């Protein structure tokens, strides 16, 4: 089946996807993006981020609306539970990144998906962040993602689609490999 | 000033915070947590996570309500912009984690904060995830966090509070150091 016969598959506009990849091949600077979040402390462990503008394709752009997200700790971690913990947002980001990749890759390979669900679990020992141990790391000891994938392809093909998504996932890479993070402070 | 004189500072119940730390010292298993997110593919790059239950303090617990979050790609990345991109959620998680730590640590040290704001920017070259380069990483090349912190302490003290938060941040650690991630696939 050619792209022209079915340019939209899995909700992915494959014609536009391939055209975008071709455009980037012609001008790699299009692929340089800078994403941004701004955060404001509310009270205690409760704070709120806004995600709206970003730079990409050589221009400043906006999402169609500002998206805002509250983070907090639950009462057991001395918070007021106005939102998930920051580390839970990381699990969401990982699932979302892998899932978007699965949809794109399946579409590019001519596979129609009917369901993709996942559970992401992260094990963390809070002795680290509580400052009670120097040998326990602050972050997740391990993260496990379990995907349920259904579509009009055999088991091996569906597994290969998930594997290719993992190989090209931005969030998977950000977690499994070191990412340089600089923290600057302005007091006033 | 003793804790008893002002148990709540910066919205942080310091008495409960110290009691929690003491409880964990007495039984370190309390500190073992397993966080969880479930994700469902909607269409294309659009998918939705729910964050509700988690395991901690030796029991299964729930947030006071299920929190749901949509992720998507903007049109320039062949999506329908129903939410931020997964990598933008990572920036939010980092800001949220560092900010919660700042509030807790300042409270523990008797510093009253009046404002904490931050901007987190992440540079990413999409040649990686588009499969157009094997030398460009999939994730962020670098992330920069800029904090504006205001409170009743001198510049050096406020900076030291931010630095201590960085040293004990779960999300900072998850990004700057390798985190093991296992991906399992079930087809049906």
What's the pLDDT tens digit per position in A79-114? 999 999 999 999 999 999 999 999 999 999 999 999
Name the nearest CA neighbour of B140 among A184, A94, A53, A174.
A174
pLDDT reported for residue A7: 84
Residue B132, helix vs strand vs coil: coil
> If you search the block for the tokens 């009743």, which residue do you land on?
B152
Q: What is the pLDDT along chain B (188 residues), one digit of tens a residue?
A: 444 556 899 999 999 999 999 999 999 999 999 999 999 999 999 999 999 999 999 999 999 999 999 999 999 999 999 999 999 999 999 999 999 999 999 999 999 999 999 999 999 999 999 999 999 999 999 999 999 999 999 999 999 999 999 999 999 999 999 999 999 999 97
Q: Could you tell me which residues come within 8 angstroms of residue B91 by beta carbon, excluding any fewer than 6 positions away? A: A35, A36, A37, A49, A51, B120, B121, B122, B143
Q: What is the number of other CB atoms lying within 10 angstroms of the CB of residue A180?
A: 12
pLDDT reported for residue B7: 84
CA distance B2 to chain A (A): 19
Q: Where are the alpha helices (DSSP H) in chain B?
A: 14-26, 86-108, 155-167, 170-176
A71/B100 Cβ within 8 A: yes
A184/B146 Cβ within 8 A: yes
CA distance A23 to chain B (A): 11
pLDDT reported for residue B188: 76
Which residue among B85, B127, B138 sits closest to A173, beta carbon to beta carbon? B138
pLDDT reported for residue B5: 58
Query: In chain B, which among 36-75 make CB contacts under 8 A with chain A?
Result: 36-47, 49, 51, 54, 56-57, 61, 63-64, 67, 69, 71-74
Cβ–Cβ pairs < 8 A, chains A and B: 468
- Cα separation, B101 vs B96, in Å, equals 9
- Cα separation, B96 vs B120, in Å, equals 10
| Chain A interface test: which of B12, B80, B88 (most A C-beta within 10 Å) | B88
The answer to whether ipTM exceeds 0.95 is yes
Does the pTM surpass 0.90? The reply is: yes
CA distance B106 to chain A (A): 10
Which residue among A117, A139, A173 sits closest to B139, beta carbon to beta carbon? A173
> If you search the block for the tokens 């701004």, which residue do you land on?
A38
pLDDT reported for residue A146: 98
Decide the pairing of beta strands A181-187 and B142-151: parallel
pLDDT-flagged residues of chain A (< 70):
1-6
User: Could you tell me if A142 and A122 are in contact, meaning their C-beta atoms sit under 8 angstroms apart?
Assistant: yes
Query: In chain A, which among 112-171 make CB contacts under 8 A with chain B?
Result: 113, 115-132, 137-150, 155, 158-159, 162-163, 166, 168-171
User: Could you tell me if B181 and A175 are in contact, meaning their C-beta atoms sit under 8 angstroms apart?
Assistant: yes
pLDDT reported for residue A4: 52
Helix or strand (DSSP H, E) at B71: strand B59-71
pLDDT reported for residue A3: 45
Which residues in chain B have Cβ-Cβ distances shorter than 8 Å to A42? 11
């Amino acid at each position: 089946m050619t792209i022209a016969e079915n340019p939209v598959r899995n909700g992915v506009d494959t014609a536009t996807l391939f055209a975008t990849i071709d455009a980037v091949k012609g001008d790699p600077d299009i692929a340089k993006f800078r994403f941004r979040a701004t955060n404001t402390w509310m009270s205690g462990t409760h704070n709120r981020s806004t995600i709206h503008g970003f730079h990409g394709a050589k221009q400043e752009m906006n999402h169609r609306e500002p998206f805002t997200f509250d983070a907090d700790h639950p009462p057991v971690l001395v918070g007021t539970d106005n939102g998930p913990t920051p580390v839970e947002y990381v699990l969401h980001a990982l699932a979302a990144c892998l899932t978007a990749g699965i949809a794109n890759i399946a579409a590019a390979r001519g596979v129609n998906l009917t369901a993709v669900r996942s559970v992401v679990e992260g094990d963390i020992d809070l002795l680290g962040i509580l400052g009670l141990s120097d040998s326990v790391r602050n972050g997740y000891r391990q993260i496990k993602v379990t995907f349920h994938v259904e579509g009009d392809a055999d088991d091996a093909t569906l597994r290969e689609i998930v594997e290719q998504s993992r190989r090209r996932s931005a969030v998977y890479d950000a977690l499994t490999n070191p990412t340089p993070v600089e923290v600057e402070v302005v007091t006033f």
